Amino acid sequence: MGFREETNIPAGPLNPKGERFETVMLHAGQERPDPVTGARATPVYLTTSFVFDDCDAAADVFALRKPGNIYSRLTNPTTDALERRIAALEGATAAIAVASGAAAIAYTVENLCRAGDHIVSSNTIYGGTFNYFEHTLKSHAVDCTFIDPTRPGTVGNFEDAIRENTKMVFIETIGNPNANLIDIDALAEMCHSHGVPLVVDNTFATPYLFRPLDHGADLVIESATKFIGGHGIVLGGVIAENGRFDWEGSGRFPWMVEADPSYHGISFAKDAPDCPFCTRVRAIILRDMGACISPVNSFALMQSLETLSLRVERHVYNMQRVVEFLEGHPKVERVNHPMLPDNPDHALYERYFPSGAGSIFTIETVGGREGAKRFADSVRLFSLLANVADMKSLVIHPASTTHSQMTEEELLASGIKPSTIRLSIGCENVEDIIADLDQALNKI
């Protein structure tokens, strides 16, 4: 279950040579000199707005006839550098950064759906996303059908849920919290046969370990707050697109194809063919709703990107050691991780994650809910908090926190039991991590 010392990213529009991950990141950071100083480093542009050369130049930028900065709610040179790096790493034609991962999901739905529309989603997802799809979207007259991907016939079950008004299929690369997997290649092929985009939340895998766009996904979402940031200090979210989805041929998205009245007749699909989705999110949704990312956060996330490969390698190594330890512990009834040969998703794990993955997973302790809470209250090295993918190890009881707005039936359908504990394995010394888990489990 080892990991490769060198991880290559396949060739794509922004990586034609199939270079190593670190090389792609470096090239992305050096594509364009700083627009003011000419330097290769990207400073933090703490400014609300930008000066135009003259009225005609201002009019061209406002009308989308020419690129340029107007207002930091829409674009900012620091954030632009982050977006270009994310696009390169995901193999995307474009990316847009917003205030949080939740904003990235909400803006994706807003760009794809209208009142009366429908989406299909896996039910093994983050509790906040589940609540947004199940409850909040109903106030916008958007309906969601949830599919249990752990049941046999997963792709067929998703296909059976598609309707004439379905506007997206949504999954997580690695499910939150139980680390379940889905055959993304097969699901993407099915979605495209119906003209429906596949949207993948890649937060738990990161582009270092897996690139959904290379496997047929159309849109990728990252909560940059997690592994991309890695230190639990700033929020951020990213949407990336592959530029290949046939918006006109789909027939489901006239607002992507037809003339937009707020920009005097521009067609996003025709006038921005390589990046219509991100362009419309920026020009319409971010303009009107304003969940922009701070340039300070963008800068912090760029600094963290420089160590992403090192951190994720350590996360994966520590996770493998911890899973092996927990699998044999008498106070652990079950370890839910696809690296284990008896896990139903083990074949997909070996196929999609040859370098390993899944430093966020769950265990089921003895003693039911009280045993799980006793364990979570007894850790010393681990921090009990509502986040994942920090450098430090984290623990939480999903049923009473991150997924607490779900009913008992919904929790069980998502594979979350009263005894379920979510672990996020950090980068500390693995022997210290194991020792802390052992002493806490023995408190049950």
Over residues 373-409, the pLDDT tens digits come to: 999 999 999 999 999 999 999 999 998 888 888 888 8
Looking at residue 220, what is its pLDDT?
A: 98
Q: What does the pLDDT look like over 145-182, one tens digit per residue? A: 999 999 999 999 999 999 999 999 999 999 999 999 99
Peptide bond into 177 cis (omega under 30): yes
Average pLDDT over residues 185-207: 98
Of 404, 343, 399, 359, residue with least CA distance to 376? 399
Give strand pairing partners of 404: none
pLDDT in tens, 320-338: 999 999 999 999 999 999 9
Would you say residue 5 has pLDDT above 50? Answer: no
pLDDT confidence of residue 12: 53
3-state secondary structure string, the chain?
CCCCCCCECCCECCECCCCEHHHHHHHHHCCCCCCCCCCCCCCCCCCCECCCCCHHHHHHHHCCCCCCCCECCCCCHHHHHHHHHHHHHHCCCEEEEECCHHHHHHHHHHHHCCCCCEEEEECCCCHHHHHHHHCHHHHHCCEEEEECCCCCCHHHHHHHHCCCCEEEEEEECCCCCCCCCCCHHHHHHHHHHCCCCEEEECCCCHHHHCCHHHHCCCEEEEECCCCCCCCCCCCCEEEEECCCCCHHHHCCCHHHHCCEHHHCCECHHHHCCCCHHHHHHHHHHHHHHCCCCCHHHHHHHHHHHCCHHHHHHHHHHHHHHHHHHHHCCCCEEEEECCCCCCCCCHHHHHHHCCCCCCCEEEEEECCHHHHHHHHHHHCCCCEECCCCCCCCCEEECHHHCCCCCCCHHHHHHCCCCCCEEEEECCCCCHHHHHHHHHHHHCCC
Q: Which residues pair with 362 in a beta bridge?
A: 336, 422
| Per-residue model confidence (pLDDT) at position 409 | 87
**Three-point CA angle 215, 277, 84, nearest 5°:** 75
- State the pLDDT at residue 4: 32
The ranges of the chain annotated as CATH 3.90.1150.10 are 309-441
pLDDT tens per residue across span 119-132: 999 999 999 999 99
Residue 392's pLDDT is: 97
Query: In whole angstroms, what is the distance from residue 343 CA to residue 442 CA?
Result: 25
pLDDT of residue 103: 98
The confidence score (pLDDT) of residue 15 equals: 58
Is 21-303 a domain of CATH 3.40.640.10?
A: yes
Q: First-to-last CA distance in the chain?
A: 30
Alpha carbons 28 and 438: distance in angstroms, whole number:
43
pLDDT on residue 71 = 92
Question: Which superfamily, per CATH, for 309-441?
Answer: Aspartate Aminotransferase, domain 1 (3.90.1150.10)
pLDDT value of residue 1 = 31
Q: Where do the CATH 3.40.640.10 domains begin and end in the chain?
A: 21-303
255 pLDDT higher than 50:
yes
d(CA 74, CA 51) in angstroms, rounded, equals 15
Q: Of 220-234, 317-331, 397-411, 428-442, where does mean pLDDT reach its minimum?
A: 397-411
Lowest mean pLDDT among 64-73, 97-106, 133-142, 248-257: 64-73
Question: 374 vs 203, 399, 439, CA distance in Å?
Answer: 29, 14, 11
Q: What is the pLDDT of residue 30?
A: 46
Q: Please, what is the average pLDDT of the chain?
A: 91
Top-confidence residue, 186 or 23: 186
- Per DSSP, what are the bridge partners of residue 219? 199, 241
Q: According to the model, what pLDDT value does residue 2 have?
A: 33
23 pLDDT higher than 90: no
Count, residues in the chain: 444
